[in-house]
Structure 1
């Protein structure tokens, strides 16, 4: 009897709990592969757009040119997002100074808080889906094991009722029940590999973002500071205050 036939026979002989466990593992597998595909696509897009922005940033003549470039077009990727809000924070503090508690401190302290806030936001975005992958990777084997135990239990009950306890009578139902353990491992292994790969990619990207933030902070607090009188593209004052966490 083939694996597919064994599996079909096992499901047909299972009760509601066994079939619910199978559907749970199937849902875990679908969710796991959804996050794997989405995270891989997002990661590729972020790395590509980040390389493009960094090339434009380091080839710009000044931060004013960078600000002008961001006025015309700004991608929602970490480096341009950080640069936009850092420039906005520097201009806001240069124009308005300390008017509220959230703006207290020197320009460098205000800029540091704005940069740290953006990095925290980007970290949260990059970690989207990782909790689900970690949960699936850690629980799927145990769900499959529980399905196997439940299947073996019902198989042994059936054998006991029939009064036939030969090896041939035991091996078939027990072997079919072990499929649930294999299914649990098949769900967990891709989730574990994807989780580890995403964590490594996020760690590398955040390390690059942190190094870039130090360079950007130095540019904005030294002689490379940009002209605060040049307006950002949005006339709405809520944008200028976004770095302070008001919107």
Structure 2
């Protein structure tokens, strides 16, 4: 306990001495014995506020100093980002919904339930209705066909068309993600080149080419490239991930198509 008290006293003494030394360095005594602050006489320069520096650089300064071309590039990148995230989230939940519906139908088929009852319980927006409606359509057509081979081919082709329709709906929107992933970096690069061009013109007109005059505008221009990459990378990753999940999901849809084929063919 005594060692702890001694340690606290030593720390307090060091802090007090440091504060007194710092205070003494900021004051001086003139010939008349008056205390003067070193900041007031200009011996120690006053550091600028952080808020002043932040107002000169950053996204706000980039927007305010940009012309309509650079602002258009920023707006395009913003639209690309919002569109890609919207499509990614919507397709993600759509895949989860379709996967759960496939599991429900496969379980119902194993338990011996009728497909009419199972599909009637599914929401109208379910993509698997395309598959079931195609089977019903083929079932109505093969009633008038006496040839079993022609009936089998007609039912198989119709269900395959339903599977293709499901795949088309699942793939819809992924092209936008691929487009954003391939073009967003070039849009950002174009904005960077354009902003650097105008920054160099302003520096040339001012006649000052010091480091502080060049680093700010050029650094702000490079933000455009960073924004382009920030938009493109999630779009590419999301596209590849959704395509892989669609491939796995279509495997389940094909199995469901085979089950429906045998069900419709037996009960034709």
TM-score by length of 1: 0.78
Partner of 2:62: 10
Note the 1:1-247 alignment, pairs <5 A. Answer: 1-2=53-54, 5-60=57-112, 65-70=114-119, 72-75=120-123, 76-79=125-128, 81-93=130-142, 95-97=143-145, 106-221=150-265, 225-226=266-267, 228=268
Gaps of 5+ in 2: 1-52
When structure 1 is superposed on structure 2, of 29-38 and 176-185 the one drifting more is 29-38
Q: Aligned pair count?
A: 214
Summarize deviations over 1:33-60 as a string: whole Å, max 9, x none.
Answer: 1111211221121112221122112211
Partner of 1:239: none
Q: What is the RMSD computed on CA atoms of the aligned residues? A: 2.3
Q: Distance in 1 between matches of 2:246 and 2:83?
A: 20
Q: Which has the larger radius of gyration?
A: 2
Q: Distance in 2 between matches of 1:4 and 1:123?
A: 51
Q: Displaced runs of 4+ in structure 1, greater than 6 A? A: none
Q: Which has the higher contact order (CA 8 A, sep 6+)?
A: 1
Q: Distance in 2 between matches of 1:217 and 1:208?
A: 14
Query: How big is the shift at 1:215?
Result: 4.1
- The verdict on how the C-alpha distance between 1:29 and 1:39 changes in structure 2, with shifts beyond 3 A counting, is same
Structure 2 contact 77–187 (Cα < 8 Å) conserved: yes
Q: Distance in 1 between matches of 2:253 and 2:243?
A: 15
Structure 2 contact 128–166 (Cα < 8 Å) conserved: no
Summarize deviations over 1:80-110 as a string: whole Å, max 9, x none.
Answer: 54244324413430x2228xxxx9x701110
- The verdict on how the C-alpha distance between 1:58 and 1:152 changes in structure 2, with shifts beyond 3 A counting, is same
Q: Distance in 2 between matches of 1:197 and 1:3?
A: 40
Structure 2 contact 199–218 (Cα < 8 Å) conserved: yes
Structure 2 contact 178–239 (Cα < 8 Å) conserved: yes
Q: Distance in 1 between matches of 2:173 and 2:252?
A: 21
Q: Distance in 1 between matches of 2:249 and 2:150?
A: 29
Query: How big is the shift at 1:220?
Result: 4.3
Structure 2 contact 189–228 (Cα < 8 Å) conserved: yes
